[in-house]
Amino acid sequence: EMLARLYAQRGDLDTAQEYVQMAVERAPDDQKARLEEFLRQITIQP
């Protein structure tokens, strides 16, 4: 997740999406909704 956030801050949204998707796949169930929301946010950015 941290790498995804750093890539998003740098503007590399494609790489950020890859890392957050990996985080979602590996996250405990109680954290998935938060990560999926982050993924949604970086996916809809222009």
pTM confidence score: 0.84
- Give dist(CA 30, CA 11) in Å, integer: 28
H helix intervals, the chain: 2-10, 13-26, 29-43
Model pLDDT for residues 7-44, shown as the tens digit of each residue: 999 999 999 999 999 999 999 999 999 999 999 999 98
- Nearest in space to 20 (alpha carbons), one of 45, 1, 2, 34: 1
Model pLDDT for residues 31-41, shown as the tens digit of each residue: 999 999 999 99
Query: 9, 20 in Cβ contact below 8 A?
Result: no
